Structure 1
Amino acid sequence: MSMFKKGRIAAGVVAVGAIVALAGCASGDPTAPETGSAGASGDGIVVGSFAFPESEILGEIYAQALTAQGFDVSTKFNIGPRQQTIPALQDGSINLIPEYNGNLLAYYDTEFAERTTEDVDAALVDAVAADDLVVYASAEAEDKDAYVVTSEFASANNLTSIGDLAAVQPFSLGANPQFAELGYGIPGLASVYGVSDVTFVPYEDYGGPDTVKALTDDTVQVADIYTTSPDLKAKDLVVLEDPENLIAAQNVIPLLSSKIASDELQKALDAVSAELTTDDLIDLRNRVEGDEKASASTAAKDWLTEKGLI
């Protein structure tokens, strides 16, 4: 098994799968379209999403952008992990979903060696074709693990990249328990960047409030926090650069059934990808998950309007 195997996927499958199991008990068929009449036998586009807020926001962006271009669009959000979304794409329950290129490639090849956006995107073309699926251009926006420090710690120690941590050893690092064994975690930190004098402190919330608090109160000096976390801006945290691509690309990318693929659809989705940045995702998540509690639909509409896409 490759040292770079994606542990976040396995954990996410368990957590999201539990959510879907509960939802299924209450709402019946989890792959029936929520709005509109497009489905497996229709000519419309059914946009799906995973069962977490960021994915729903992205699904709304795709759906509203395509509707503005004259496509017949309906939505089916909060489906679950790839073990459910890929079959849904194949049977026509949905036919388009916002994906993440690195984790999607890992679904097809747990031993994948590609690290950069370009290499991962290129490998995906053949990987998804096996399921009669297609990917279009990925966005600059990424939601992936990152080595994060406070701005004070970065400034005091002249830290800009992961390799700079070698100069501040020993230090404590907080992350999910699996991080101690993942290829892009503690083992990769040592083998790729030569940083090995690290005290690992496990937290169960995957870059959530407990991990952030441990970082900001100096219980740990480095933490694994995802790159679209609203706390990065709210707490003035610094994402350390990864010039050696220890952590594989996780760019947002549209995944769709080849049955609906067309030049017009590609043009419309490429236009969205060309505008979407990681900072945008942070701001969108903050609006939906923060104090404002905006709906995913409202946040998506405002972003699309700002970018001149609707």
Structure 2
Amino acid sequence: MRGTTRTRRPVRAPWRRTALAATLATVLLASLAGCGLTSGSPLADDVGPGSIGQGLPLKGAQLTVTSKNFSENIVLGQIMGLAFKAAGAEVLDRTDIQGSIGARAAITSGSADAMYEYTGTAWITYMGHDKPLPDPAAQWRAVAEADRANGVTWLAPASLNNTYALALNQANERRYRTRTLSDVARLSRTRPQAVTLCVESEFAARDDGLSGMARAYGMNVPAKRVQKMDGGIIYTQVSGGNSCTYGEVFTTDGRIKAMDLVVMDDDKRFFPNYNAAPEINSKAIAKYPAIKDVLDPITAKLTNDVARELNAEVDVRGRDPRDVAKRWLVEEGFITKG
């Protein structure tokens, strides 16, 4: 079934599981892989080569793309499918699969050929590691090397990194002039009354959330100045700037752009890296090596700013993920309309 517009659930902390949870996930993957995941619909859009796909290097290929069921990943899946189509492939659209485990199972079983996955998710959830690697390139290399044994090939990653951050509105940014989490920590020590935080309960309780961030940066925010609330409410509260100076956000959320929020740089690289990268069934890329040449230039253009804009198109303006993906690819010159 074609990916549909729905409220985005960002890539988030529950995926950072223990080795035991990863073992259970492996059992689920094996179970799902045996179920014959074959639903989907042909991608019939009339598109042609632009800067990618010249000479139709994928002509004759039959490729299935998949994604998880939140807006960003659906859009990335549509981008991938349209790129393959423009390069000459016949494409089956199996985006919008419930959860990480189902989408991963589609790739490892070969019932789907390609998707955009996140490096932190693979390293912690699928491979069972407790601690992420702080350097994003090292994280990607470790994932790519480990996943070869699983019949999965990772192509070059995007700078798009959907992880935790703190943000504030424009008025408070002008007032406090903070740009990094180190700046926020300094403000919390010199003007403690200026720093109030709005966070989700889970973020407040996690060691890789509020408490770990506070230790890493020497941030002094008493419990009475921390408000716990639903993630959606945080964005509106930060935008208003009255209840909380800073709020927990996800770095590629479309509401950041829509509400004109300023994201603080994680200058000590405390939060795990969740860089998006194409995850390809190894048999598929061995058969169709041109997949790499088609996707690499597109992935290189996927930044946090691009993701925020594309996500806002879906989640704020209510547009269809495939239409959003196609318009971006055409505007960037990657593909042409037929």
TM value normalised by structure 1: 0.84
* Percent of residue pairs bearing the same amino acid type: 23
3-state secondary structure, aligned to 2:326:
helix
Structure 1 pair 126–288 and aligned structure 2 pair: CA distance change class (3 A): same
Q: Following the alignment from structure 1 to structure 2, what is the Cα–Cα distance between the partners of residues 113 and 102?
A: 7
3-state secondary structure, aligned to 1:220:
coil
Match of 2:68 among 50, 63, 71: 50
Is residue 161–residue 274 contact of structure 2 (8 Å, CA) maintained in 1?
Answer: yes
Query: Which residue in the other structure is 2:164 paired with?
Result: 145
Letter in 2 for 1:144: T
3-state secondary structure, aligned to 1:64:
helix
Is residue 31–residue 79 contact of structure 1 (8 Å, CA) maintained in 2?
Answer: no
Is residue 116–residue 248 contact of structure 1 (8 Å, CA) maintained in 2?
Answer: no
Q: How many residues align?
A: 280
Q: Following the alignment from structure 1 to structure 2, what is the Cα–Cα distance between the partners of residues 153 and 302?
A: 34
Query: Which residue in the other structure is 1:15 paired with?
Result: none
Letter in 2 for 1:223: G
The two structures, once aligned, show a CA RMSD in angstroms of 2.2
Q: Please state how far the C-alpha of 1:221 moved relative to its aligned partner.
A: 1.3
Q: Following the alignment from structure 2 to structure 1, what is the Cα–Cα distance between the partners of residues 165 and 78?
A: 26
Letter in 2 for 1:162: L
Q: Does 1:33 align with 2:58?
A: no
Runs of 4+ in 1 over 4 A off after TM superposition: none
Q: Following the alignment from structure 1 to structure 2, what is the Cα–Cα distance between the partners of residues 102 and 90?
A: 18
Structure 1 pair 178–45 and aligned structure 2 pair: CA distance change class (3 A): same
Is residue 33–residue 46 contact of structure 1 (8 Å, CA) maintained in 2?
Answer: no
Match of 1:240 among 259, 264, 285: 264
Q: Please state how far the C-alpha of 1:177 moved relative to its aligned partner.
A: 1.0
Match of 2:99 among 81, 98, 118: 81
Q: Following the alignment from structure 2 to structure 1, what is the Cα–Cα distance between the partners of residues 174 and 138?
A: 33
Q: Does 1:295 align with 2:314?
A: no
Q: Please state how far the C-alpha of 1:137 moved relative to its aligned partner.
A: 0.5
Q: Does 1:162 align with 2:181?
A: yes
Letter in 1 for 2:311: R
Match of 1:130 among 146, 149, 154: 149
Q: Please state how far the C-alpha of 1:51 moved relative to its aligned partner.
A: 0.9
Match of 2:200 among 164, 173, 176: 176
Q: Please state how far the C-alpha of 1:151 moved relative to its aligned partner.
A: 1.9
Query: Which residue in the other structure is 2:77 paired with?
Result: 59
Query: Which residue in the other structure is 2:291 paired with?
Result: 265
Q: Following the alignment from structure 2 to structure 1, what is the Cα–Cα distance between the partners of residues 113 and 186?
A: 49
3-state secondary structure, aligned to 1:273:
helix
Is residue 189–residue 196 contact of structure 1 (8 Å, CA) maintained in 2?
Answer: no
Q: Following the alignment from structure 2 to structure 1, what is the Cα–Cα distance between the partners of residues 245 and 296?
A: 39
Is residue 66–residue 93 contact of structure 2 (8 Å, CA) maintained in 1?
Answer: yes
Identify unmatched segments of 5+ residues in structure 1: 1-5, 12-28
Q: Does 1:189 align with 2:207?
A: no
Q: Following the alignment from structure 2 to structure 1, what is the Cα–Cα distance between the partners of residues 131 and 61?
A: 35
Is residue 33–residue 93 contact of structure 1 (8 Å, CA) maintained in 2?
Answer: no
Q: Please state how far the C-alpha of 1:71 moved relative to its aligned partner.
A: 2.2
Is residue 169–residue 239 contact of structure 2 (8 Å, CA) maintained in 1?
Answer: yes
Q: Following the alignment from structure 2 to structure 1, what is the Cα–Cα distance between the partners of residues 315 and 221?
A: 36
Q: Please state how far the C-alpha of 1:134 moved relative to its aligned partner.
A: 1.0
Query: Which residue in the other structure is 2:244 paired with?
Result: 220
Q: Please state how far the C-alpha of 1:119 moved relative to its aligned partner.
A: 1.2
Q: Please state how far the C-alpha of 1:10 moved relative to its aligned partner.
A: 6.4
3-state secondary structure, aligned to 1:130:
helix
Match of 1:96 among 99, 102, 114: 114
3-state secondary structure, aligned to 2:196:
strand
Query: Which residue in the other structure is 1:20 paired with?
Result: none
Q: Following the alignment from structure 1 to structure 2, what is the Cα–Cα distance between the partners of residues 232 and 83?
A: 28
Q: Following the alignment from structure 2 to structure 1, what is the Cα–Cα distance between the partners of residues 113 and 62?
A: 9
Letter in 2 for 1:274: A
3-state secondary structure, aligned to 1:261:
helix
Deviations 1:236-267 (A, max 9, x none): 21100111101122211111111111431111
Identify unmatched segments of 5+ residues in structure 2: 1-11, 18-34, 44-59
Structure 1 pair 109–90 and aligned structure 2 pair: CA distance change class (3 A): same
Query: Which residue in the other structure is 1:282 paired with?
Result: 308
Q: Following the alignment from structure 2 to structure 1, what is the Cα–Cα distance between the partners of residues 269 and 145?
A: 22
Structure 1 pair 79–257 and aligned structure 2 pair: CA distance change class (3 A): same
Q: Following the alignment from structure 1 to structure 2, what is the Cα–Cα distance between the partners of residues 266 and 274?
A: 12
